[in-house]
Structure 1
C-alpha cells in the first residue's frame, strides 16, 4: 500500500523551490486541456443536439400521412373469426397519390390477410416518397440528447488524448533531465571531504 500525504488544493501552482520549468508547463497544460475538453465537449454536444432536434422538428412539419390502397391481398390469413388479424403484420404492396398528384407505390406493413383495396396509412415526405412515421416531440428530445451526448464525448476525447500525449512527452523530458543530473552528481554521492 502506497502512503500518500494529504491532498493540497492547487498544488501545481504553489511556490516550491524544487519545482522545475517542466512542472510549471505541465500545470498549465493540465489546466488548458481540461478547459478545452469541457468547452469542446459542450460546444459539440449542444450543436449536434440542436441540429438533430431541428431536423426531427422539420420532419414532423413536412412529413404527412396519406391513404394508400393495397394492390393485392396481403399474405397470411385472417383470424378464425373471419376478421383481419391485428397482431400479425406482414409486408404488402400498396399504391398512393402524393399531394402533387404523382403516383407512388411501395411495401407497407399491414395486418395479415388484408384484402386488395384496403386503405392503409403511409407517411410521405413532400416529394411523396415513403418515410417512417416522424418521432414525437418528447422522443425527439431524448434522441437529440443521446446523440448530442455521444458527439460531445467523442469531441471532448480529442483534446484529452492530445493533452495526455503532451504530458507523456513532458514526463519523458523531465526524466531525461533527472538522468542527466544524476549522472553528473551520482558519482559524487558518498564521497567524503577532507
Structure 2
C-alpha cells in the first residue's frame, strides 16, 4: 500500500460518520454534526472573543493615554525605606514630590523615583485630569502588543470552553452508543437462538 493510499484510507476512516454505512446509526450522525458545530463555534467564537476583548483593551489603553499627561515635579522628601527593583533593574524608592496642576495649584503626592534622587531634583511624573499621580501609560506599540495578548488569551479561553463542552457531549453520546449496541447484540442473540446472560 502506497503512502497516498494510506492517507486516503485514514481520511476515509475519519469521515465514516458522513458516508452511508450499514453500521452507522443516527447517534453517529448527531456526533458528526456536534463536532462540526464545535469547530465552527471554536473558530467563530474565538475570533469574536479575540476581537471584542482586544478592542476593549486597546480602547482602555487609548483612554489612559488621553487622560494622563506628563508633568514636571520636584522631589520634596526622600523615603528612607521601601527600596524596590524595577523592570529595568535600577533601584527605585518612593518619595514625596510636588508639581503644579492644570488648576494652577501646587499638589504633592508619593511616587517612585530613582534611588539617587535628592530633595530639589526635578523629575517627570504622570498625572490625570484630577491632578492625581498615575502610572505612565503604555506606548502605542506596547498597548497594541498587550491588546493582542488579551485577544489571544480570550480566544484560547473560548476554545477551551468549546472543547470541554464537546468532550462532555461526546462522553454522553458514547455512553448512549454503547447502550444501543448492547441492546442490538441482545436482540441479535435472541434472534439467533442464544441466551442472554
Q: How many pairs does the alignment contain?
A: 178
Partner of 2:67: 62
Q: What runs of 5+ residues in structure 1 fail to find an aligned partner? A: 77-86
Is the Cα contact below 8 Å between 1:74 and 1:116 reproduced in 2?
no
CA distance in 2, matches of 1:111, 1:144: 29
User: 2: CA distance between counterparts of 1:165 and 1:41?
Assistant: 19
Question: Do structure 1's residue 93 and structure 2's residue 93 form an aligned pair?
Answer: no
What is the CA RMSD across the aligned residues, in angstroms?
A: 2.4
Does the CA contact (< 8 Å) of 2:91 and 2:114 recur in 1?
Answer: yes
Alignment of 1:21-170 (within 5 A): 21-73=26-78, 75=80, 88-170=91-173
Q: Given that residues 78 and 94 in structure 2 are in contact (C-alpha distance below 8 angstroms), is that contact kept between their aligned partners in structure 1?
A: no
Unaligned runs of 5+ in 2: 1-6, 82-89
Write out the 4+ residue segments of structure 1 that deviate beyond 6 Å after TM superposition. Answer: none
> Comparing both structures, which one devotes a greater share of its residues to helix?
2
Answer whether contact 2:17 2:24 (CA < 8 A) is retained.
no
**CA positional deviation for 1:190:** 8.3
Checking the alignment, whether the CA contact within 8 Å between 1:73 and 1:113 is kept in structure 2 is no
What is the CA distance between 1:54 and its match in structure 2? 1.6
Per-residue CA deviation, residues 40-91 of structure 1 (Å, 9 max, x unaligned), is 1110111111111121122222210111222225649xxxxxxxxxx54322
**d(CA) in 2 for partners of 1:107 and 1:33?**
52
Q: TM-score when scaled to structure 1? A: 0.80
